[in-house]
Structure 1
Amino acid sequence: MAPPYSNGYAYKGKGPSALLFQHSGGSFRDRARPVLIAAARLSQRLWHFWQTRGRRMTINMLYQAGWQLRQNLTARRLLSFPHLLVCLWMLILLWGERWVFSSRVADCRWSNWESWPAGANPHHLIFVADPQITDPHSYPGRPWPLSELTVLITDNYLRRGFTQLQSQLIPDSLFFLGDLFDGGREWKTGKGDWADPEWAAARRPKSERPHAKEWNEHYGDKYWLSEYERFGDIFFSDWASLGGTKAGNWQRGRKLVASLPGNHDLGYGDQVKVSVRERFASFFGDVNRVDVIGNHSIVSVDTLSLSASSSVQAERGDLRPIHTPADVFLKDVKFTKRKAVEKELRFWRGDVEGLGYNHLVEDLETADVENVPTIAPGEDGPDFPTILLTHVPLYRDPGTPCGPYREHWPPAKPPRGQKGPVIPDHRNAISVSGGYQYQNVLDEDASVNLVKSVGNVVHVFSGDDHDYCEVVHSPKKESVREITVKSMSMAMGVPTPGFLMYVGFIFVSIVAISIRSFLVPVLNLTPFALEAEQSNGAILPTFKEKVEDEGTYNMRSTSASSGTRYQTNSSSRTRSGSLMNGSAPLPPPKTKQKKQGWGHRTPRIEIFQDDFYGAGKPRLTWKAASQRSRTTVGRVVREIGFSTWRVTWMVVLFWSYLAYKG
C-alpha cells in the first residue's frame, strides 16, 4: 500500500540508485528555486511599474497614437503628394510583379505565329532551360536575411512565369533541359562514395574551397529532398490545375519531363558521382530516355556522363561506372526508338500495344526459341523524325555566331557589301572552353558520334549557356539545326533584368520628394510633416523672448515705475485677486543676492492688465516652445524625411504582400 503522501508511483528502490534519485530530485529543486524567486521578483516589479507609471505611459501612448491616426485620416493628408507617389509605385509594382509576365507570355500564343493546314491537330511543346533554383551554393557567404530574400524573389519570378505558361499556352508537353538546381551536385548523398579524387579536388575554385567543407557537413540527402519539394512546389503543383489533364486529339495525355540533368545537378564528365546521378534519377526519372511526342521521337541523353569517356583522366581512374549507362543507351537507341514508334502507331490504330502470344504447350526440344515475337520492327521499320535533347550544346567552331536573338551581344555589323554574318564573331558566339565542373560545348568527336548514334535527327535543343543561340552545324553533324534555349531564371546573368526599372523610379521618387520639399517654404505649400500635438490646457506660457528693460525704476517704490517704456495701469490686484487702484509694493531687494548672475537685481516677470483685458495690442507676445520658428533648411529636411519614410514603408508593405502571395 502506498503511503498517504505518495501517488502510488514513487520510486521505492534501495541502495545507491535510490540515493542517486533522491539527490537528483533535491538538486533540481535547488537549481529551480533561484529561478522561481527571480521570476516572482520580476513579476512584482512589473506590477509595481504598471501601477505607478506603466498605466499612464500606456494611456498616453494610445492617446498619441489616436491623435496621429486622426491626423493621417484627414482628406488633405490622404490626398497628399507622398500618397500620390505611393499610388504610382503600386501601379509599377503590379506591372513588374504581375502584369508583365502575362503580357510577355501572351505574345507567344500559338495563334500568333503558327500556320497549320485545315484538319491538323498540332501537339504543342515547350522547353524550359536552367531554372537553377538558388541555394547556399549560388551566393556563398551572403548573409541572412539577404540570402532568404534572394530565394524568395527568384522563386516568385520562376513561379509567375511558369504559371502564365500553363494558364495561357496550356502546352501538351513540357521538357526541362537540365540545371534544375544550382548546387544539387554539392549535397552529399547518404550512400555511395562521396570523396573527390585528389586530382579533382585541386580543380575547385578558390572562392568555393572555404565553403566546401561546410556543404559536406550540413547539406545532405535531407536538404536535397527539401529542395526537390521546393522545385515541385514551383513547377509541379499547378501542372494539372492550370492546364488540366485532358488529352488532345491523337494524344495520350499531357506530359511533363524533368529527367534531363545538368552539370549543376550531377557535375561534368570525370567528376560526375554515380550516387548523385542515382539519387537524381530515382526522383526525376531515367536520365537517358525516348519519348514519342506527336509525330516526333524525342531522345534525351545524359551527355554529362557521356563526356567522361573522352576524359584525359581515364588513365588515372576507372570512369566506366560514369559513362557506361550512356554508352549502352546510345548503342541501342535506334531499336528503342522504333519500338516506341510502333507502340504509338498501335495506339493511334486502336490496336493492343503489347504482343499477343498463342497459348501453346510445346516440347522444349522442339520449341522455336530463335524467332521470338517482338514488337519492334526491323531496321527498315517506321521511324519518326527525331529531336535530340542535350544539356550541353554540340560542338561548333570558335566564333560561330549565335544570331540576332542573343541578348548578351548582338551580331557584329558586317562590312559594306557583305550580306552574311561576320564569321568569326566571338562576342556573339558561345565560348569553346571549359572549367571546373563545366564545359561550354561537347567535344567534336562526341558531338558527331551522338548525332549519328541517335539517327534521323532533325533538330537539337540544349541549355547550359543561359542565353539564346541558334546555329546550323557542319555536314559532319548532318547539318542539323540547334537552338540553345535561354534560361528561365532572372539570376542567370541576363544583362537587362526588369528590376532595373525599380531602381530608376526610386531615383525619380527621391528627386520629386526633394523638389516638393524645397517648394514647401518657398510657395507656402501645405507641409506633409506633422507638427507635435499642442496642449490647450496650459495657463502660463512656456516660453518668453528675453527683452532687456531700457527704463529705470526703484525696486522699493510703492508707486509705478517712472521708466519711459513700461507704464503700469492704475489698477492692480489685491491678495484676493481683485483689481484695485494703486500698485502693490514690491519687496526690497537683498544686497547680497547675486545668485544665477542677476547681480543686485532680482528677476522680473511683469504681467499687465492691458495684455489680457483688451487695451489695444498686447505689449508682449507669448509663444509655446513647440511653436518656435524653424529655419528653412530644417523644414526642408524634415519634409524630405517624413515624405520619404511614408512612401518607403507603404511601398515595401505592398511589395511584401505581392511577394507573400507568390
Structure 2
Amino acid sequence: MAPSYYSTRSSRDHFVEPPSLLSRVIAGLPSELSAQIQSLWDRNSYAAVSTRESRIPRGLRHWTERWHPRRLLNLPHLLVLVWLLVLLWGERWVFESAIKTCEWGRWERWPRDATPHHLVFLADPQLIDPHSYPGRPWPLDKFTMLHTDNYLKRSYISLQKKLHPDTIFFLGDLFDGGREWRTAHGNTDDPQWANGLRPADEQAYVKSWRRYGDDFWLREYNRFGRIFDKYWNLAGSDAGPWQRGRKLISSLPGNHDLGFGANIKIPIRNRFETYFGEGNRVDVIGNHTFVSVDSVSLSAASSPHFTKDITKPVEEFLSNVQVMKRKAVAHELSFQAGEERVLRLPHKVEELDSADFSNFPTLDPGEGKAELPTILLTHVPLYREKGTPCGPKREHWPPATPPKGQTTPIFPDERNAISLSGGYQYQNVLSEEDSVRLVSTVGNVQRVFSGDDHDYCEIVHAENKNSAREITVKSMSWAMGVRKPGFLMLSMWNPIDASGQSIHSSPSGHGALSQAHPTTESHLCLLPDQLGIFIRYLSLVILSLLALTIRAILTPILHLPHFADPPTETDLSILPTTKQDMKRREEDEGHRSSNSSTSSTSSNNTQNLAPRSSAARTRSVSPAKGYGLPSSQVRFTTPPLATSVPHYGNGNRNGSWGNDSDDFSKEKANGYSSVGGEGQKMSPLLVIWREASRSIWRVAWVTVLVYLYLAYYG
C-alpha cells in the first residue's frame, strides 16, 4: 500500500528548503554524500509534514484548500458577486428606490399643521392569463406571467412599506380575460348578433376558452388576493393622523372584467360584483365624496340591441345619486360630531288604505345642505375633442413643440392625445352624450379619475362637463404597452365645520376660502422599467461571457493561475494503460536499477544514512509474480526519490532546490498536472477549453440559482 504522504498532491506543497548554513555545509561535501544527505533531509522533512497533516481529517484539508482566499479571489467569483448585486438590485432594490422618491412629504405643499388623507389610484393591473397571449409558446407565456405577477407584487409591497396610504382605489381591468371565463349558472355565450365581431386572431381561440369556468376564475381571484389583499396591512393597519381608517376598494369594473356595452353578459357581471362589490357606489373619504360609476355598462344604452337588463343598475344609481351623496355626507358629519344617525319610525297603527306615505321618514337631509367636493371615478375616460393633448407626462408621445412665440400647447396634437376610436369590447372614451349626462347627474364634479388607456393623460374639460380636471391613470403593469408603469397619488385636505362648510384657510392665514380653493394635490409615481432591467441582464451576460473567454485564452499565454483544477490520475491499477506508459516504465526501471546500485555502494560508506532504494520500497510480494508480468510493465504506486520527482513543493523539475514561492500554482499555470508522479503538459487548446467551461459553469449555476430563488419568492 502506498505511503500516506503520497495519497494527496497538496502535501507536496509543504516541502521546506534546508537552512542556508546547512546548505553550504552540504554543498562542500563530496557529490555522492551530498546527494544522499539531501535526499535524507527531503524524506525526513516530508515525513514530518505528512505526520502533522495526518492529524487533520482529509475532508477538512480538502475544504481548507478549496476555500483558501487565494482560490476565492478570482474573476469568476468576482462575476458571481457582481451578478448577486445586480439581481438584488433588479429584483428588489430598484422598486424600493423608485417609490422612495415619491414619498408624500417630497411633493405635498400643505401647511405644517395639516393632516391630509393619503389615497392611491391603481389602474389596469390586468393579470396575465390565457386570454393575454394565446399564441405565445408555453415557456415564454409562463415566464411573462411570473414576471408580471412579481412586478405587481414587488411594486405593491414597496408602496405599502414606503407610502402606507390610507385608501387605495382600483380603476378597473383587474383581470385580462375575466369576461371570457364561463360562470357556473347562466348563459355566457356570445349572442347571435355578435357573431363575426371578434378579431380574427382571437376567434380561433374562443372554443378553447370555453373550458375555463368558475373554478379558473376563482383561482384568478385568489391570485389577485395573493398580490394585493395579502400585503394590505404590511406596514400596519393604523391610518394616518385624524383619519377614520384604511380602505381598499376594488369594485369598479373594466371592459376586460365584464366586457363593453351591449357585449356585457349579466352572469359575468353578477359574479364580479359578488366578490368585489357593487360597481356603482358613493364613498365619503377625507371630506370628499367619491362617486364610482360602472361606465362600461352605461355605454350599452347607445347600442341598437336590447340592453335594458345591462343598463338598469347604473340607470337606477344615477337617478338616486344625489340622494345617496347627501345621505353619505350627513352620515359623515354626524359621525364626526359624535352623534348616532339612524332611521326612526313612529309607533302608531294606521289603516293601509288611509296611510300617508308622502312623509315617509328618511335619512336624506334634503336639498340645500352643505356638499363636499365630488370626485368622479370611471374606468373609461370622458369624451374630449379630437386631438386634445394629454400633456408632457404622457409616455407614448410627448407634446409637439409649439412654434416660436406660442406659449400654449399645440391643438390638435393627435400623437399626444387619446385616440377617439373603438372596437370589439372596447371604446377609448365615452360618448359625448354619456359624458355630459354623467357629470351633470352626479353634480359638483371637480376632479375625474379614469383608467383604460394605460398611459397618463391630464386635461381640463369644457364647461358642459363642469370644467372638471380629469387624470387618466397609468397602468401599473409592465405588460400593458408602457415602458415605465406607474400609479397616481392623491393627497386630500379639506377641514370642515359641523355643517360641512370648508374652513380651509389661505397660506397667509387670513379668513376662510371658497369651496373653489384646491383641496387635493396629485402626483404621478413612476415604477421601474422592467424591459430596461432585462436589457441590463442581457448586457451583463454578454460581458461575463467575453470576460471569462478572454481570461481562458490568456491563461496559457500569460501563465495565469488556473481556475479549473488540473486533471489527476486516480486509477492506481497495476497494468499499464498505453504503449507510452509501457515504454516510460521500462525507462524508469532502468533508471531505478542504476540508482539502486549507487545507493547500495554508498550505504556501505555512510552507515545506512541514505534512504531506501526504489527496489527496496516495492511491495513485499512482486506484482509481476502475481500477474505474470515482467517487472518492466509494473506500475508502482510508491513515489520515486526526491531527486527524480519533478516539481515537488519548492523543488524544481530537475530535482534541485529553487527559490519559487508558489511552484504548485506555477505548475497549474503552465498546464502541468501530476499524473503517475510525472509532469505532463496539457495543450493550450485544452487549457482554454477547461478554463472557459469550468468558469462559465460556475458563474452560470450560482447566478441562475439566486435568480430562481428571488423569482420564486416574488
TM-score interval for Structure 1 and Structure 2 normalised by the shorter chain = 0.7 to 0.9
The alpha-carbon distance between structure 1 residues 535 and 486, as it changes in their structure 2 partners (threshold 3 A), is same
2:336 aligns with 348
Mapping of residues 78-157 of structure 1, within 5 Å: 78-157=72-151
Amino acid of the structure 1 residue aligned with 2:233: A
1:232 aligns with 225
2:524 aligns with none
When normalised by structure 2's length, the TM-score is 0.70
Contact 1:339 1:376 in 2 (8 A): yes
Mapping of residues 235-634 of structure 1, within 5 Å: 235-244=228-237, 246-248=238-240, 250-311=242-303, 314=304, 317-361=305-349, 368-495=356-483, 496-497=529-530, 498-535=533-570, 537=572, 542=577, 629-634=681-686
CA deviation map 1:213-232 (0-9, x unaligned): 11102x10011011111111
Contact 2:576 2:633 in 1 (8 A): no
CA deviation map 1:230-266 (0-9, x unaligned): 111111122234331x355554321110000111111
In structure 2, C-alpha distance between the alignment counterparts of 1:308 and 1:627, rounded to whole Å: 87
2:157 aligns with 163
Contact 1:468 1:483 in 2 (8 A): yes
1:186 aligns with 180
The alpha-carbon distance between structure 1 residues 504 and 430, as it changes in their structure 2 partners (threshold 3 A), is farther
Amino acid of the structure 2 residue aligned with 1:284: F
The alpha-carbon distance between structure 1 residues 264 and 306, as it changes in their structure 2 partners (threshold 3 A), is same
Contact 1:406 1:468 in 2 (8 A): yes
Greater mean deviation of Cα atoms: 498-507 or 281-290: 498-507
Per-residue deviation, 1:104: 1.5
Contact 1:132 1:181 in 2 (8 A): yes
The alpha-carbon distance between structure 1 residues 199 and 66, as it changes in their structure 2 partners (threshold 3 A), is farther
The alpha-carbon distance between structure 1 residues 74 and 209, as it changes in their structure 2 partners (threshold 3 A), is farther
Identity within the alignment, %: 54
1:640 aligns with 692
The alpha-carbon distance between structure 1 residues 644 and 425, as it changes in their structure 2 partners (threshold 3 A), is farther
CA deviation map 1:50-82 (0-9, x unaligned): xxxxxxxxxxxxxxx999978754433322211
2:17 aligns with none
CA deviation map 1:385-424 (0-9, x unaligned): 1111111111222322221112222222222222222222
Per-residue deviation, 1:606: 11
Q: Secondary structure at the match of 1:387?
A: strand
Contact 2:673 2:681 in 1 (8 A): no
Q: Secondary structure at the match of 2:375?
A: strand
Q: Secondary structure at the match of 2:204?
A: helix
The alpha-carbon distance between structure 1 residues 360 and 118, as it changes in their structure 2 partners (threshold 3 A), is farther
The alpha-carbon distance between structure 1 residues 522 and 415, as it changes in their structure 2 partners (threshold 3 A), is farther
Q: Secondary structure at the match of 1:278?
A: helix
In structure 1, C-alpha distance between the alignment counterparts of 2:84 and 2:568, rounded to whole Å: 31
CA deviation map 1:420-472 (0-9, x unaligned): 22222222222221122111111222112111111111111111111111111
The alpha-carbon distance between structure 1 residues 521 and 343, as it changes in their structure 2 partners (threshold 3 A), is same
CA deviation map 1:456-498 (0-9, x unaligned): 1111111111111111122222221111111111211223423
Q: Secondary structure at the match of 1:340?
A: helix
Contact 1:260 1:301 in 2 (8 A): yes
Contact 2:121 2:170 in 1 (8 A): yes
Q: RMSD over aligned Cα, in angstroms?
A: 3.6
The alpha-carbon distance between structure 1 residues 75 and 537, as it changes in their structure 2 partners (threshold 3 A), is farther
Is 1:649 matched up with 2:701? yes
Q: Secondary structure at the match of 1:504?
A: helix
Q: Secondary structure at the match of 2:324?
A: helix
In structure 2, C-alpha distance between the alignment counterparts of 1:452 and 1:83, rounded to whole Å: 67
Q: Secondary structure at the match of 2:698?
A: helix
Contact 2:673 2:679 in 1 (8 A): no
Amino acid of the structure 1 residue aligned with 2:195: A
Amino acid of the structure 1 residue aligned with 2:220: E
In structure 1, C-alpha distance between the alignment counterparts of 2:378 and 2:471, rounded to whole Å: 11
Contact 2:178 2:257 in 1 (8 A): yes
Contact 1:451 1:477 in 2 (8 A): yes
In structure 2, C-alpha distance between the alignment counterparts of 1:349 and 1:379, rounded to whole Å: 21
> RCO greater where, 1 or 2, for CA within 8 Å and sep 6 or more?
2
In structure 2, C-alpha distance between the alignment counterparts of 1:201 and 1:71, rounded to whole Å: 73
In structure 1, C-alpha distance between the alignment counterparts of 2:88 and 2:129, rounded to whole Å: 27
1:561 aligns with none
CA deviation map 1:259-297 (0-9, x unaligned): 001111111111111111000000000011111111111
Q: Secondary structure at the match of 1:421?
A: coil
In structure 2, C-alpha distance between the alignment counterparts of 1:200 and 1:364, rounded to whole Å: 50
CA deviation map 1:182-218 (0-9, x unaligned): 111111111112111233231212222222111102x
Contact 2:576 2:582 in 1 (8 A): no
In structure 2, C-alpha distance between the alignment counterparts of 1:166 and 1:514, rounded to whole Å: 44
Is 1:211 matched up with 2:205? yes
Amino acid of the structure 2 residue aligned with 1:223: F
Contact 2:564 2:691 in 1 (8 A): yes
CA deviation map 1:603-642 (0-9, x unaligned): xx999xxxx89899999x9995997644434433432222
Amino acid of the structure 1 residue aligned with 2:542: F
Greater mean deviation of Cα atoms: 464-473 or 280-289: 464-473
Q: Secondary structure at the match of 1:242?
A: coil
Per-residue deviation, 1:660: 2.4
2:637 aligns with none
Q: Secondary structure at the match of 1:124?
A: strand
Contact 1:543 1:622 in 2 (8 A): no
Contact 1:309 1:323 in 2 (8 A): yes
The alpha-carbon distance between structure 1 residues 276 and 633, as it changes in their structure 2 partners (threshold 3 A), is same
Contact 1:306 1:327 in 2 (8 A): yes
The alpha-carbon distance between structure 1 residues 632 and 434, as it changes in their structure 2 partners (threshold 3 A), is farther
Amino acid of the structure 2 residue aligned with 1:300: S
Amino acid of the structure 2 residue aligned with 1:281: E
In structure 2, C-alpha distance between the alignment counterparts of 1:81 and 1:543, rounded to whole Å: 37
Per-residue deviation, 1:348: 1.0
5+ residue gaps, structure 2, are 1-58, 484-528, 584-589, 602-631, 635-639, 647-652, 655-671
2:167 aligns with 173
